[in-house]
């Protein structure tokens, strides 16, 4: 691997990052508010101050901002409890909602019609829609601890398209602190409990602004896209003020040494993550689709770096970039990724991963608090800290030293990717992932659906991927045309495979927030084993499976053909 320019790394300034973080934390960066727009203007002004070519995009986003909640117990005891409401929780009528409270425990929602459901996971989009469709009048979420963690209830990715709008939640949601909620759950088990709640929530259209920095290398059309959300909850120092400061520092140092870049880097700050479910990155993906498709080498997301006591490292990469991502991070940290964090390899369906439909491979590095540290609470942001999405995510939780280390690793990832002669993608890792998933699925469905044709196509693709990698090994001093055609082929493979491997909705829509298996479309085949042969559901599922099988064989055939052309 080529050693990155040490001059780039040594120009990282902790003082500059801390000063940016201090400025950002003065704004409460809730998407769609005046302060959020001011924060975007501040980021743009810093890019201009550094002399970086930049622009501001503006678009209309469907956003939601929780304003106020009230909650009272009427029976079996009388008490007013602290509560909050959430993004895309439905506002109640001004007089509020009253009714019987039922404790919904476990996976199924049971009989909640006309009642108020007290439940854990009450912000999870799947849970919210299930309770709404079962006729619940409102949801009372049991917080994971005795702090209010803000969040969003919709699972629609980005601003909804017309065909997605039916899944916008239409049910009020409030959260109670864990102890208060558990006391109520006990009361529900003994007797009939009745409660009253009010929720005031803004839901509507607001302009959001996306600052974008362009650091042009020798090839301006091939670029790494770096992004991280700029909106937050409360002060949001470590989720994601630190990330915004690291991204700005990355822009500054790469721009300063732009003559060392073979390809380009584009850096974006996304609003609409926290209060509009990734609407800015989704909009950018929609607005720039063709340009991203043709030129984007990878998406590097920056979320919650630079947290105090974050000494462990983890990566989240797609199969083709996993080895590269891991090697750089292990080299830079001087230790293997191990233990708790080693098993979390692929990006989850969160964190502005808005480019799966385009087929762009993503990579990521996250510094994390060790599992046995007192600040660790296993939360999904702020390096796993207990203060994630609370009003205690304040600037004292950030560390200039960790920000410096994290920026060095981010810069190394960016430099090595844009300066690689041959892009560091491993098509054989994609092949392993596909073959593994098809074989796993075959074990479940072999009695109901014949996957042997797909297995043959997958094996053929795997053979070709291995041959391509052998060819790449011989390319080190290769002719420029041969290197260029291999790089084009590697990009094309990602574009062909990722939308089928990771999405059900395809290339031009965004997969909603839900954990799905690889090959999510074909995976419905497993449902054939759960329904009665000859029935309607069986027939419809079989029809869908046949079509999804064609999507997979077509993808494998096109990927194999793309490799054949360069062998």
What is the rounded end-to-end Cα distance, in angstroms, of the chain? 24
Q: Which of 521, 20, 563, 567 is nearest to 252 (CA)?
A: 20
Smallest distance from Zn ion to CB 412, Å: 22
Cα angle: 363, vertex 364, 366; to 5 degrees: 165
Q: Tell me whether residue 237 or residue 418 sits nearer to Zn ion (CB atom).
A: 237
Q: Tell me whether residue 368 or residue 465 sits nearer to Zn ion (CB atom).
A: 368
Q: Tell me whether residue 239 or residue 433 sits nearer to Zn ion (CB atom).
A: 239
Total residues interacting with Zn ion, rule: CB under 5 A: 4
Q: Tell me whether residue 281 or residue 487 sits nearer to Zn ion (CB atom).
A: 281
Pair 20, 265: CB distance under 8 Å: no
Map residues 286-315 to x or -, x wherever contact with Zn ion holds by CB under 5 A.
-----------------x------------
How far apart are alpha carbons 384 and 371 in whole angstroms? Answer: 9
Encoding tokens for residue 550? 């064609």
Q: Tell me whether residue 150 or residue 240 sits nearer to Zn ion (CB atom).
A: 240
Cα angle: 178, vertex 183, 188; to 5 degrees: 120
User: Tokens 């203060």 identify what position?
Assistant: 387
Pair 25, 235: CB distance under 8 Å: yes
Smallest distance from Zn ion to CB 213, Å: 20
Q: Backbone dihedral region of 524: left (phi > 0), alpha (psi from -120 to 50 degrees) or beta?
A: alpha
How far apart are alpha carbons 51 and 71 in whole angstroms? Answer: 51
Question: Alpha carbon of 9 to those of 186, 240, 415, 526: distances in Å?
Answer: 56, 22, 10, 50
Only segment of 141-149, 239-247, 254-262, 322-330 that touches Zn ion (CB under 5 A): 239-247
Q: Tell me whether residue 92 or residue 240 sits nearer to Zn ion (CB atom).
A: 240
Smallest distance from Zn ion to CB 232, Å: 8
Query: Cis omega (within 30 of 0) on the bond before 72?
Result: no
381 binds Zn ion per the rule CB under 5 A: yes
Smallest distance from Zn ion to CB 304, Å: 5
Map residues 246-285 to x or -, x wherever contact with Zn ion holds by CB under 5 A.
----------------------------------------
Smallest distance from Zn ion to CB 479, Å: 44
Smallest distance from Zn ion to CB 147, Å: 17
Q: Tell me whether residue 239 or residue 548 sits nearer to Zn ion (CB atom).
A: 239
Residue in 83, 85, 159, 240 binding Zn ion, rule: CB under 5 A: 240
Only segment of 45-53, 373-381, 409-417, 519-527 that touches Zn ion (CB under 5 A): 373-381
How far apart are alpha carbons 358 and 291 in whole angstroms? Answer: 10
Smallest distance from Zn ion to CB 41, Å: 21
Smallest distance from Zn ion to CB 364, Å: 12
Q: 163 in helix, strand or coil?
A: helix
Smallest distance from Zn ion to CB 267, Å: 16
Residue in 239, 320, 352, 527 binding Zn ion, rule: CB under 5 A: 239
Only segment of 237-245, 261-269, 312-320, 340-348 that touches Zn ion (CB under 5 A): 237-245
Smallest distance from Zn ion to CB 222, Å: 28
Q: Tell me whether residue 273 or residue 326 sits nearer to Zn ion (CB atom).
A: 273
Beta bridge partner(s), residue 176 = 83, 142
Q: Tell me whether residue 397 or residue 429 sits nearer to Zn ion (CB atom).
A: 397
Q: Tell me whether residue 385 or residue 501 sits nearer to Zn ion (CB atom).
A: 385
Encoding tokens for residue 9? 């790394």
Backbone torsions φ then ψ of 231, nearest 5 degrees:
-85, 165
Q: Tell me whether residue 241 or residue 381 sits nearer to Zn ion (CB atom).
A: 381
Note the residue count of the chain: 567
Map residues 192-231 to x or -, x wherever contact with Zn ion holds by CB under 5 A.
----------------------------------------
Neighbour count for residue 298 (Cβ, 10 Å): 28
Burial of residue 133 (CB within 10 Å: 0-12, 13-18, 19+) is exposed
Q: At what angle do helices 536-566 and 427-445 cross, to 10 degrees?
A: 160
Only segment of 209-217, 363-371, 377-385, 543-551 that touches Zn ion (CB under 5 A): 377-385
How far apart are alpha carbons 334 and 210 in whole angstroms? Answer: 35
In Å, how far from its chain's centre is CA 309? 24
Encoding tokens for residue 256? 């300063």
Smallest distance from Zn ion to CB 24, Å: 14
Binding site for Zn ion (CB under 5 A): 239-240, 303, 381
């Amino acid at each position: 691997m080529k050693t990155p320019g040490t001059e780039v790394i040594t120009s990282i300034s902790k003082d500059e990052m801390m000063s940016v973080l201090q400025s950002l934390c003065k704004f409460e960066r809730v998407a769609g508010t005046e302060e959020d727009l001011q924060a975007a203007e501040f980021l743009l002004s810093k890019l201009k101050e550094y002399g970086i070519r930049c622009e501001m995009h503006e678009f209309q986003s469907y956003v939601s901002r929780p304003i106020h909640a009230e909650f009272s117990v009427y029976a079996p005891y009388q008490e007013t409890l602290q509560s909050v409401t959430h993004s895309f929780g439905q506002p109640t009528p001004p007089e509020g909602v009253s009714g019987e409270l039922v404790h919904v425990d476990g996976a199924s929602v049971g009989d909640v019609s006309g009642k108020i459901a007290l439940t854990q996971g009450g912000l999870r989009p799947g849970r919210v829609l299930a309770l709404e469709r079962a006729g619940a009048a409102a949801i009372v979420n049991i917080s994971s601890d005795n702090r209010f963690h803000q969040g969003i209830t919709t699972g629609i990715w980005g601003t909804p398209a017309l065909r997605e709008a039916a899944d916008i939640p239409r049910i009020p949601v409030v959260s109670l602190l864990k102890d208060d909620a558990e006391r109520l759950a006990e009361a529900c088990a003994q007797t009939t409990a009745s409660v009253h709640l009010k929720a005031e929530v803004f839901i509507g259209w607001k302009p959001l602004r996306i600052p974008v920095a362009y650091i042009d290398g020798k090839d301006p059309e091939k670029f790494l896209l770096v992004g991280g959300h700029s909106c937050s909850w409360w002060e949001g120092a470590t989720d994601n003020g630190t990330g915004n400061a690291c991204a700005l520092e990355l822009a500054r140092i790469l721009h300063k040494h732009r003559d060392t870049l073979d390809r380009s880097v584009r850096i974006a700050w996304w609003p609409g993550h926290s209060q509009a479910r990734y609407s800015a990155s989704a909009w950018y993906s929609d607005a720039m689709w063709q340009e991203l498709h043709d030129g984007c080498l990878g998406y590097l997301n920056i979320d919650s770096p630079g947290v105090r006591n974050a000494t462990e490292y983890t990566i989240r990469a797609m199969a083709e970039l996993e080895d590269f991502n891991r090697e750089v991070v292990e080299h830079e940290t001087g230790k293997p990724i191990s233990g708790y964090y080693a098993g979390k390899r692929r990006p989850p369906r969160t964190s502005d991963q808005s480019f799966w439909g385009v087929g762009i491979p993503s990579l990521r590095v996250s510094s994390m608090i060790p599992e046995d540290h007192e600040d660790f609470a296993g939360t999904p942001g702020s390096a796993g800290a207990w203060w994630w999405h609370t009003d205690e995510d304040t600037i004292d939780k950030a560390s200039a030293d960790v920000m410096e280390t994290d920026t060095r690793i981010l810069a190394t990832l960016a430099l090595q990717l844009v300066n690689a002669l041959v892009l560091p993608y491993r098509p054989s890792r994609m092949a392993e992932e596909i073959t593994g998933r098809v074989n796993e699925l075959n074990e479940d469905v072999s009695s109901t659906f014949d996957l042997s044709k797909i297995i043959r196509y997958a094996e053929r693709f795997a053979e070709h991927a291995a041959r391509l990698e052998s060819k790449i090994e011989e390319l080190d001093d290769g002719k420029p045309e041969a290197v260029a055609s291999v790089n084009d082929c590697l990009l094309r493979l990602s574009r062909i495979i990722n939308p089928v491997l990771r999405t059900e909705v395809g290339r031009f829509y965004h997969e909603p927030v839900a954990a799905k298996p690889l090959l999510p479309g074909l995976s419905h085949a497993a449902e054939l084993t759960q329904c009665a042969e000859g029935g309607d559901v069986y027939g419809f599922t079989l029809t869908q499976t046949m079509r999804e099988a064609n999507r997979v064989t077509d993808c494998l055939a096109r990927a194999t053909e793309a490799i054949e052309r360069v062998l």
